[in-house]
Amino acid sequence: MDTNENQIIKNTILFVKETLKNAEGGHDWFHIERVYRTSLVIAKTEKVNPFIVALGALLHDIADAKFYDGDETVGPKMAKDFLKTQQVTDLVIDEIVYIIDNISFKNSLSNSQTKKISKELQVIQDADRLDAIGAIGIARAFNYGGFKNRVLYNPEIKPQLNQTKEEYKKSKAPTLNHFYEKLFLLKDMMNTKTGKIMAQERHTYMEDFLKQFYKEWGL
């Protein structure tokens, strides 16, 4: 990347930190930072535009729809408005908007994501999904569950598999169900070879966690 691109990335980091300074703990600046760093690691093994990967990772959750009454237009608009202040080209802006529009797990539950996705999106999507599994993924799941005042676990409420996008968005199920409805599915949804390798260890950790959880629950 050239000097100008590096400066834009620095400015983007400052913008994201300020925008998310009061965000829920699982979707705050530290989540963005982890996804950003992991994206850079995966990008080294893929033929991608590093500038788009960096910007896409930094802005992918700038306004998560779940915190804006489900409005999926806020994030893309916020990112677009900011990038225009940085004199970023329309072509790059379109790439970033595309990434924000298509990165989420819930979109994979609809027929809207049947086309082949860009390499840059593949890298960032893998990094984002890696942050949803493993030890940090477990912490984020229960943090969000507490934020939404959901019960930890209820043996009488079974996980709802094969959900539609709308069913997933409206779910108020216990946090533990989220492991079966999303987290355990992510390992097999990785796009890149590096992502798949990294996901396996984190997936196994979650399996071990649930074994201990059920043991302590008395099941």
Give the domains, in start order, of the chain with CATH numbers: 3-217 (1.10.3210.50)
* 85-137 confidence digits (pLDDT tens): 999 999 999 999 999 999 988 666 555 444 678 999 999 999 999 999 999 99
Dist CA 145 CA 182 (whole Å): 14
Instruction: Name which of 121, 96, 91, 140 is nearest 195 in CA terms.
Output: 121
- Its pTM stands at 0.91
Q: Which residues does 8 contact at the CB level (< 8 Å), separation at least 6?
A: 51, 55, 86, 88
* 26-72 confidence digits (pLDDT tens): 899 999 999 999 999 999 999 999 999 999 999 999 987 777 777 78
